[in-house]
Structure 1
Amino acid sequence: MRLSTNLIFSLQMQSISKSQSAWLASGMQVSTGKRVTKPSDDPIAASQALNILQTQTKDAQYAMAQSFAGQSLSNEENALGNVSDNLQSALTHIIYGTTGTLNDDDRAVIATQLQNIRDQLVNLANTQDSNGRYIFAGYKTQQPPFVSGDDGVTYQGGDQAITQQVDAQRTMTIGHPGDSVFMSHTGNAIPEPDGSASETNVFTLLDEAITALKTPQGGQGDEALKQFEETMGKVNRGLHNSLNNVLSVRSEIGTQLAELDTLGDQRQNRQVILSDQLSQLTDIDITESISRYVMQQTALQASYKTFSQITQLSLFQLNR
């Protein structure tokens, strides 16, 4: 086989180009700290790394969803805590209002106090979050869910609870419609003496109590007193049922907030594991990589020197 000058030159250039490419690749790995910077570096590792990155992206999305859910549930829990306090205060006034030693003026004072509680409950039922959305309106978050009119307080919000997917296999309620909170009872609600269901509308109950307390009892006879006691007894039972319902909703919210904490801890632990796996797949061994970089640099410099010397040779020099 004849080795022409052009062939020798071409082979030497290819060798230098290959060495230079390897050296630049090593330099890229050292500078980035990554062994796999493109799929061709290690197709299997690159594929596995892509799956891990996709999982991390989904986890980041669920982290945002969990944060939003936590804020919504915390807003609702805060409002319902105040609702519970007001209902307990109303029950105290109802019990005190049925005391036989009170006169009409005393009962009128209690009626005024119950009116204030009722107004506070309406305000709490129309609580808005930091974005101006009504938290007890279901999906109709842009308008007040509870409206006071001649017929009392009516609900005009949505009838579906707001839900949020907070993990791959978990969707939870993060916004209860107002009618399920202020106009509903639990399954074990106390019935009326005749076996009928108790009044569920907490505002209607308070209105009945306020009207009864404002009605003068002096000189009205036993029938009026009996009617007053029956009304106050009905309101007492109804408010107890309403309070139990609110406490039941609060218990559900508390359970979900605890679950969000657990999901957050699990996600953080999973992120640690995934980050370690990704590092093992794509990161370099810094000591080994620097050593290889230096060796390739030395080899490349030697190739440059050899090529330079060969190109300066002539036929006369080779024949000496």
Structure 2
Amino acid sequence: MRFATQHFGNTMLAMLRESSSKAEDLTSKMSTGRRVQRASDDPIASVRLLLLESDTSMLTRYQTNIDTLSVRLQKNETHLDGMLDTVMSAHESLLAAADGSRSAADLNALAGPLLTRLDNLKQAANAKDGDGDYLFSGTQTDTAPIAYDPAALAGSRYSYAGNGELQQVVIGHGVMQTANVTVEHLVDAMNKLDMAVAAMKDLEVDPSDPAVRGILTAALDSLKTNGINALSAKLSDLGGTQNTLSLMKENHSAQVVANEQASDLVGGLDFAEAMVQLNNYMTATKGSYAIYARMNELSLFDVI
């Protein structure tokens, strides 16, 4: 009788511990709202949840890349827009100098502002980002893209010291986006404008001289083609790129939401069902305690 009572007591204690453990586990799941907290809860669901988590993490990285790239392209756009304004202003002044009605003194007077615009264009093309890297030198970000040799002859003082290689950023599954812009096309316009300024600075310049007019015309053509048109095209491309980035980010955000919803379906907890289970565990545990307590009160005399 003593052995049977002890065995019964051990069995009851084991059952109580198991019920309490299940109740605690269920309470923990209810506090997090997650049905699957470990692989043993549901191996298949755990694998699916890991895949969803990995995909969401990757999408988040893409969104971060897009935000960083968007800021950089905005900086590029600001500098390119400034260059375009400078080139258009220089083109307008050069048109005035080449209209055939100007005197030598007029050309001398126009040369100074044109030289200032040329210097401004060089500074804008050699702009740096917050980390001190040059924006428009391709992948040679430690090298100023527009080099200037004051000892060279007018028309050959400016050269492109960067490269034409592209910096690529991953913004989606298998999707790359160019992060940089190059300005090598400005070199020809700058050299031809430099030649025009040199001719216009000459106190003896003859505005009607075919050679002088040829220099001014060449500068006008290059400013139009390699300056205004080229810069406008790059600005248009940047606008299109920003639209693409916005669309990609919206798609990623939608996919993240979809992943969260799928995660809730796979690993989320049904609170109504959980409450029923918890009540059952609590009722069973309470009943087991009552039975165990009553059995401990029994003695051999109770059954005689």
Percent identity over the alignment?
21
1:285 and 2:285 matched? no
**Aligned counterpart for 1:172 among listed residues 166, 172, 177:** 177
1:214 and 2:219 matched? no
Q: Could you say which residue in structure 2 is the equivalent of 1:253?
A: 238
Q: CA deviation at 1:221?
A: 9.8
For 1:182 and 1:161, how far apart are their aligned partners in 2? 18
For 1:102 and 1:173, how far apart are their aligned partners in 2? 46
Q: Could you say which residue in structure 1 is the equivalent of 2:161?
A: 156
**Aligned counterpart for 1:226 among listed residues 210, 218, 237:** 210
Contact 1:34–1:283 (Cα < 8 Å) also in 2: yes
Q: CA deviation at 1:36?
A: 1.0
For 1:146 and 1:236, how far apart are their aligned partners in 2? 20
For 2:192 and 2:179, how far apart are their aligned partners in 1? 28
For 2:267 and 2:186, how far apart are their aligned partners in 1? 56
Q: 1:211 is aligned with what amino acid?
A: A
Q: 1:160 is aligned with what amino acid?
A: E
Q: Deviations over 1:214-257 (max 9, x none)?
A: 23456x696xx010111111111111111211122222211111
In structure 1, the residue corresponding to 2:234 is in which secondary structure? helix
Q: Deviations over 1:44-79 (max 9, x none)?
A: 211111111000000111111111111111111111
The TM-score with structure 1 as length reference comes to 0.87
User: In the superposition, relative to structure 1, how do residues 88 and 303 fare at CA in structure 2: closer, same or farther (>3 Å)?
Assistant: same
Residues 241-320 of structure 1 mapped to structure 2, 5 A cutoff? 241-242=225-226, 243-319=228-304
Q: 2:174 is aligned with what amino acid?
A: Q
Q: Could you say which residue in structure 1 is the equivalent of 2:17?
A: 17
For 2:207 and 2:18, how far apart are their aligned partners in 1? 112
User: In the superposition, relative to structure 1, how do residues 266 and 4 fare at CA in structure 2: closer, same or farther (>3 Å)?
Assistant: same
In structure 2, the residue corresponding to 1:166 is in which secondary structure? strand
Contact 1:23–1:296 (Cα < 8 Å) also in 2: yes
The TM-score with structure 2 as length reference comes to 0.91
In structure 2, the residue corresponding to 1:252 is in which secondary structure? helix
Q: 1:177 is aligned with what amino acid?
A: T
Contact 2:192–2:215 (Cα < 8 Å) also in 1: no
Q: CA deviation at 1:281?
A: 1.3
For 2:76 and 2:10, how far apart are their aligned partners in 1? 77
Q: CA deviation at 1:132?
A: 2.1
Q: CA deviation at 1:82?
A: 0.8
Q: 1:235 is aligned with what amino acid?
A: A
Contact 1:164–1:172 (Cα < 8 Å) also in 2: yes
In structure 2, the residue corresponding to 1:99 is in which secondary structure? coil
In structure 2, the residue corresponding to 1:4 is in which secondary structure? helix
Gaps of 5+ in 2: none
Residues 1-320 of structure 1 mapped to structure 2, 5 A cutoff? 4-150=4-150, 151=152, 152-179=157-184, 181-183=185-187, 201-216=188-203, 225-242=209-226, 243-319=228-304
For 1:44 and 1:297, how far apart are their aligned partners in 2? 29
Q: 1:207 is aligned with what amino acid?
A: D
Please tell me the root mean square deviation across aligned C-alpha atoms, in Å.
2.0
Q: 1:209 is aligned with what amino acid?
A: A
Gaps of 5+ in 1: 184-200
For 2:129 and 2:264, how far apart are their aligned partners in 1? 41
Deviates more, 1:66-75 or 1:307-316: 307-316
Contact 1:137–1:144 (Cα < 8 Å) also in 2: yes
For 1:88 and 1:5, how far apart are their aligned partners in 2? 102
Q: 2:133 is aligned with what amino acid?
A: R
For 1:221 and 1:178, how far apart are their aligned partners in 2? 31
For 1:155 and 1:212, how far apart are their aligned partners in 2? 23
User: In the superposition, relative to structure 1, how do residues 221 and 170 fare at CA in structure 2: closer, same or farther (>3 Å)?
Assistant: closer
Q: CA deviation at 1:101?
A: 2.0
Deviates more, 1:245-254 or 1:116-125: 245-254
Q: Deviations over 1:166-218 (max 9, x none)?
A: 11121111112332x424xxxxxxxxxxxxxxxxx222011011012123456
Q: CA deviation at 1:278?
A: 0.8
Q: CA deviation at 1:17?
A: 2.0
Q: Could you say which residue in structure 2 is the equivalent of 1:196?
A: none
